[in-house]
Amino acid sequence: MTTREDTPSDIQQVCIVTRYEIEKHMQSRAFIGIMALVSLILVLLTVIRPILGLDFSSDSASFVSDYVSWVEILVLIGAVAFASGALSSEFEKRTGLLMFPQPIKRETYLIGKYLSALVVIGAALGVYYIVVAVLSLAITGGVPATIILSFGFAMLYTIAACAVAFLFSSILKTNTASIVAMVLVFMMVFSIVGALLSMSNVDPFFMPSNAAGAISYSLEDPYPVTSTTQMGQNMSTTNYVPSELGATLVLLGWAIGSLVVAVVAFKRRQF
């Protein structure tokens, strides 16, 4: 018989859930798929340019930027694959009936699953950035120090995207609904709203998609600033560049806010 003293602490339970979920993710088709996608992007970007007779940039920052421009898509695909159905599947497949009666808090279970998604996506991004750094060293003779900062912003975007995915997963009934919501919001709603705000000369600084621009902007030295280009006598376009601090705060804000709502919704949800 298990006593209170035998029950692991909340932190221990988080570690147990995280470890179990990481092992499950690593053995899943989703992980194989995202690693295959990482490999495909790297191969295509490295092989197609010489085939077309185009030279690689001799500047390491510009060289790395060509590869980093795909990181946002990798993050979103990772969030969809490992986070969108993390909670809704427990209700859809009824597996929660076996887990929830155990002496573990729902918020502890959620945090463990959330951390596991971050670790797995972070591992895929880490491999991507390491290979890009090696290619940069081999082709341009150097690696920009700012690549570390870019990876940091990629992880911040991962933290925010996974949190939003967990929010959808905590309130929607099926995996399919969670995935569709995630794709629509990040690839359509945020993009459309951000574009409309920019056209109206309103800085979309609070949009995660705008803050994610720091992943690429951080490679530039010096870091770029917001600029306006005159397109005609009565027309201009503004490129709103998020500051490094601003992007960090926005992404963390989305992550914390989404996780808080996800925890509340998950704790109240019934079969």
Distance CA 99, CA 96 (A): 5
Residue 1 has pLDDT above 60, yes or no: no
Q: Report which of residues 1 and 25 the model is more confident about.
A: 25
Residue 93, token pair as written in the block: 């497949």
Query: Hey, what are 50's tokens?
Result: 């010489």
What's the pLDDT score for residue 87?
Answer: 81
What pLDDT, on the 0 to 100 scale, is given for residue 2?
Answer: 46
Q: Write the pLDDT tens digit of every residue in 30-66.
A: 999 999 999 999 999 999 888 888 788 889 999 999 9
Which DSSP letter does residue 189 get?
A: I
Closest CA relative to residue 150, chosen from 171, 126, 123: 126
235 falls in which pLDDT band (50, 70, 90)?
low
pLDDT of residue 199: 80
How far, in Å, are 91, 142, 174, 180, 251 from residue 271 at the CA level?
6, 56, 13, 22, 32
| Residue 268 vs residues 106, 214, 263: alpha-carbon distances, Å | 10, 36, 9
Pairwise CA distance, residues 256 & 250, whole Å? 10
Q: Which residues, 6+ apart, have CB-to-CB distance to 168 below 8 Å?
A: 84, 88, 177, 178, 181, 182, 185
CA distance 128 to 1: 47
Q: Which amino acid is at 102?
A: Q
Handedness of CA 232, 223, 258, 33 (dihedral sign): positive
pTM score, whole prediction: 0.90
